[in-house]
Structure 1
């Protein structure tokens, strides 16, 4: 069982890995990232604004003013020099860490409002942020790949991503099976015959597909894999 203190420690280490990669690799921010339509500058700006947004959540404010404002902020910051991007990600991550460090046990258990009507408890925030940091580190294309995601992260991320798709009518009924025997169900409710599309693979391969970062490399399935909607 994890705790907010543990999750914030893991998040800090992941954030430092990303910042070190940006500082040492000096990636060209105008070059494409692995996300269609986004440069590396878009990814870095999104990470900074996401940290600000999670501070808003923990203070009981709307995560973003609205979807249009969120997108406009990312677009406006995407072309900034790398040095500005780096400092923005670093300082906003530190600001989020400071707010989380000040939460009491009772505050961690409170319900918070996220985007699109989603609610959760505050203690989910560190892992939600970890998902952003780890996946967008891969998206930056700075010598960090899906295969290098920590096992402790991918083990939990399969369940997290499966919950994100649970009950959605635009996702077929799925049963995800890890090679160690664990399984998760997600997507729409199965038809009357109860059958689900069975997808089998390691947690890293499952995370890559569920997160839209792969087309299913390393997975086997009982039928052709569908294209999942964006998270």
Structure 2
């Protein structure tokens, strides 16, 4: 079934991201963001590249094909670096175009096609799961851009769906004793292992 609530949340997040980027100039895009070694230009290029890759997956579902997120050998850091130094107007336009294409790919799917699968880096996922992944990426990377968007701005839908998943995985990402000590107020928050 078409995840209308998630589609609407993504469309709102897209508009907020584009509005947040609107006042930035070339120098702002060259400045570092909160991701190590990435400038804002790197991160905006990465988000646009990921949206473009998602378009391919969703278009595949529309024609009955199971498609991979990226071809073999794709290096996201290299791809982000290749577009990072473009002018601000070009970075914004590319992102806006990719997000519009993605929203169009979602609109083209009928209810049954949302159960189709695509191959993400972590393995096969349904279109419903992939759009949830996209919402998380948009919102987390909006915070990573360091332009005023904060975790407290995240939509309730994101928090309600992601928090239980992250809590289930938490014991595997920290010292269990350290985690317990923190949870009962007897120690600092432990360092988390692995990527988000």
Q: TM-score per shorter chain, which class?
A: 0.7 to 0.9
Question: Within the alignment, does 1:23 sit opposite 2:17 as a pair?
Answer: no
5+ residue gaps, structure 2: 61-65
More helix by share: 2
Q: Could you tell me how far 1:90 is from its partner in structure 2?
A: 0.5
1:83-162 residue pairs with structure 2 within 5 A? 83-116=89-122, 118-162=123-167
5+ residue gaps, structure 1: 175-194, 201-218
Higher-RCO chain (CA-CA 8 Å, sequence separation at least 6): 2
CA contact (8 A) 1:197 1:221 kept: no
Q: Which moved more, 1:142-151 or 1:84-93?
A: 142-151
| CA distance 1:140–1:67, shift in 2 (3 Å) | farther
Residues of 2 paired with 1:147 and 1:132: CA distance? Answer: 15
Backbone CA RMSD of aligned residues: 2.7
Q: 1:197 maps to which residue?
A: 179
| CA distance 1:147–1:65, shift in 2 (3 Å) | same
| CA distance 1:67–1:42, shift in 2 (3 Å) | farther
Residues of 2 paired with 1:115 and 1:149: CA distance? Answer: 24
Residues of 2 paired with 1:158 and 1:102: CA distance? Answer: 30
Q: 1:177 maps to which residue?
A: none
| CA distance 1:67–1:39, shift in 2 (3 Å) | farther
More strand by share: 1
Q: Could you tell me how far 1:197 is from its partner in structure 2?
A: 3.2
Residues of 2 paired with 1:37 and 1:127: CA distance? Answer: 27
Q: 1:52 maps to which residue?
A: 52
Residues of 1 paired with 2:49 and 2:129: CA distance? Answer: 18
Tell me the TM-score normalized by structure 1.
0.71
Tell me the TM-score normalized by structure 2.
0.83
CA contact (8 A) 1:173 1:197 kept: yes
SS in 2 for 1:28: helix
Count of aligned pairs between the two proteins: 188
